[in-house]
A and B are shown apart, each in its own frame.
Chain A
Amino acid sequence: MPTHESAGQGSATVDHLAPDLARTMYRHMRTARDLDTEAVALQRQGVFPAYVSVRGQEAAQVAAATALDPSRDFVFPTYREMAVALAYGVEMVGYMATHRALWHGGLYDAMESRFGAINAVVGGPVPHAVGWAVGERLRGGEGVALACFGDGASSEGDVHEAMNFAGVYGAPVVFFCQNNRWALSVPNERQVAGGSVAARAAGYGMPGVAVDGNDAGAVHRAVSEAAERARRGEGPTLVEALTYRVEPHSTSDDSARYRDEAEAERWRRHRDPVDLMRRALIEAGYAGEAELDRIDAEARARAEEIRDGVSTAPEPDGSELFTHVYRETTQELARQRRIWQEEVRL
């Protein structure tokens, strides 16, 4: 079993991936990296009130997303899933809009995207994934739900309740834990009793797999196998991707207060998942430097396009305060909307 000590220390494994897929994964990872960098800059410029970086988790996120079938599966994200969204095909200006605080859940269509609204209650969407998956089986569909959560959320009761429900119902769910070692300021050893989220699967009657979360190929294999197993009707799997949050929890956080930044720096320099993937593609003969440079340039252009899109996206109209509270609004809410119209909008 890989551990945090071993994660990102070897090379990314790509031999089992089709060259096209491996290159696509690299493209997504590079785009996510650039977009992440742009997003941090936008926060510094005051365009975003805050941002939560996915830096260092691009392999885990892109691999999980590309192991799914966006035409029939459904992803239940939390708030640090930018690279999952990107690789899954979510409309990214709409996704990044949440970080500009234009709309809490993002401005993309959650149902069309088959990617739930961004959810800041960590653990909260995990039982949603189980409900969706139970419903999928009741319909006779073959879709699989991916429930995203982190090492911090693994302590939430909802996550445990959800895993038990999924085990009891044999629901087609992949529980995807990105263990980035730090739940805000609290390290794994003070968060996860027993030291392994994956080991908890045994108690819920499902396989639990720990993988090197900085090895895109390894995560892709684990999530693909879990998704196929679920699709075959064999029930849920817990995949724990061991990775590292190299940035602070958010742009509002000061990680130097609780960890040795030299550790983060080592991960940043020597275990970087995007670098690992790039090297692996060259070593496997899947792409040459020139082609990768071209992909890098395209990724950069795409990231800039998304940055410009979200920077200039219109703010929602104030009337939207009231629009989606109910499907069928109430007289009282209509009255309050009139007050807003007369006393706030002016």
Chain B
Amino acid sequence: MTELIDRTGTETQEAPVVELSMQQAVNRALRVLLAEDPDVLVFGEDVGTLGGVFRVTDGLQKEFGDRRVFDTPLAESAIMGMAVGLAMNGWRPVPELQFDGFAYPAIDQIVNQVARMNYRTRGAAPMPITLRLPSFGGIQAPEHHGESLEAIFAHTPGLKVVAPSDPGDAYTLLLQAVRSDDPVVYMEPKARYWERRPVQLREPDEPIGTSRIVRPGRHATLVAWGAMVHRCVQAAELAAEDGVELEVLDLRWLKPIDAEGLAASVARTRRAVVVHEAPLTAGLGAEVSALVTENCFRDLAAPVQRVTGFDVPYPAGPLEPQYLPTIDRILLAVQRTLEF
């Protein structure tokens, strides 16, 4: 770490900038967490010896031993059930479910047990569990290996849900999630695992539920999370060539949603387009649209537009790019809102 002396003479530490992929950034955060808190346990299918199918836990078992980082048998419900019991014995579990679609077999434990145990026990048994869930599509994976479950989790009382969009946020938000005493579903966008970027390894300094303006603009706000943030930035870059300045707001936290940040941005731009991979109907875009409408009704110059996956299952390889929101569809929605 680079140590600096600020003007008042007290020592401060500036977070170093390193070039990392998201997969490496998550790995880095897990190392910090395992090192700082002896109660943190990392477990799941293939996370130990192999280092995870995405290598996110690479080297952790070697560094921290097979008592802190360990493989489980292949049963998602028991992985989450075990996390509940570990939490009841004072541990801070960080389980991984290998792919989003395989969280469905664990939904009972996640919704009926993890999310409710603090409530059911009136605070006697907190659940400081962070479920790491490689999420969303874009890698033309087999069925069930690319899904968007955020609306299900966000709909569940007791859970908090976060989806980082870049390596820097992935690092900081994972620290924040694991240190939280509430259960958090941490959705890692698989499609963004590999691109390396200069990253500042920042300690969390904002409250849970804070969004981030990734790119400022004044003509409309694009609201997104996970891998769709990058796509929105690409759309904004293209729009800028035509003189349309789009603000890109990365929601980051899907529960709690930053209603204030959202309203502040849309109050400025007067137009909003929400973009997500999940199917349209009852997707989180509906929640975003409702929040914007409730909070910015008088500011709005056009109805909120939604650009989402279609109401179909995530399709196979060559059809996936036609399912996921494209840059063209985003720009068409922008055009609709501008011309309304």
Contact = CB atoms under 8 A, between A and B. Distances in A.
Interface of A: 74, 76, 103-105, 107, 109-112, 116-117, 119, 121, 124-136, 138-139, 145, 157-158, 161-162, 164-165, 168, 320, 323-328, 330-333
B109 interface: yes
A285 B87 CA distance: 46
Interface string B196-230: 00000000000011000000000000000000000
A328 B182 contact: yes
B85 A145 contact: yes
A2 to B, nearest CB: 30
Nearest to A109: B124
A124 B112 contact: yes
Instruction: Rank and list the top 4 A-B pairs by shortest CB-CB distance, nearest first.
Output: A131-B85, A127-B81, A135-B89, A131-B82
A220 to B, nearest CB: 25
Nearest to B90: A135
A331 B259 contact: yes
Contacts of A139: 89-90
B86 A104 contact: no
Q: Which residue among A103, A128, A331 has the maximum number of chain B CB atoms within 10 Å of its CB?
A: A128
Contacts of B112: 121, 124
Nearest to B120: A105
B209 A162 contact: no
Contact of B121 (A111, A124, A331, A333): A111
B209 A331 contact: yes
Contacts of B73: 161, 164-165, 168
B256 A331 contact: yes
Contacts of A127: 77-78, 80-82, 84-85, 109
Contacts of B125: 110-111, 116-117
Interface in B182-197: 182
Contacts of B151: none
A231 to B, nearest CB: 16
Q: Which residue among A110, A116, A127, A325 has the maximum number of chain B CB atoms within 10 Å of its CB?
A: A127
B85 A161 contact: no
Given A127-B84, A135-B91, A327-B181, A161 B77 contact: yes
Contacts of A76: 85
B117 interface: yes
Contacts of B157: 325
The main secondary structure of chain A at its interface with chain B is helix
Interface in B39-92: 41, 67, 72-73, 75, 77-78, 80-91
Contacts of A135: 85-86, 88-91
B145 to A, nearest CB: 21
B126 interface: yes
A325 B331 CA distance: 40
Interface in B97-118: 108-109, 112-113, 117-118
A162 B78 contact: yes
Interface size class of B (residues with CB under 8 A): 35 or more
19 contacts: A74-B89, A104-B120, A105-B121, A117-B121, A119-B113, A119-B120, A128-B82, A128-B88, A128-B113, A130-B82, A131-B85, A135-B85, A139-B90, A323-B123, A324-B123, A326-B118, A326-B182, A330-B255, A332-B256
A134 B84 CA distance: 11
Contact of A327 (B84, B109, B118): B118
Contact of A131 (B86, B119, B126): B86
Contact of B89 (A117, A119, A121, A132): A132
Given A131-B85, A328-B208, A158 B182 contact: no
Given A111-B88, A164-B73, A326 B158 contact: yes
A124 B109 contact: yes
Contacts of B88: 74, 111, 116, 128, 131-132, 135
A67 B72 CA distance: 30
A327 B126 contact: yes
Given A128-B84, A130-B82, A323-B122, 17 more contacts: A74-B88, A105-B120, A109-B124, A116-B88, A121-B112, A121-B113, A127-B77, A131-B86, A136-B89, A138-B41, A157-B77, A161-B78, A165-B75, A320-B122, A326-B158, A327-B180, A331-B259
Contact of B113 (A104, A124, A132, A165): A124
A111 B87 CA distance: 11
B181 A110 contact: no
B77 A330 contact: no
Q: Which residue among A76, A105, A320 has the maximum number of chain B CB atoms within 10 Å of its CB?
A: A105
A134 B82 contact: yes
Contacts of A132: 85-86, 88-89
A138 B124 contact: no
A327 B182 contact: yes
A281 to B, nearest CB: 37
B77 A158 contact: yes
Contact of B180 (A103, A126, A328, A332): A328
Contacts of B30: none
Contacts of A168: 73
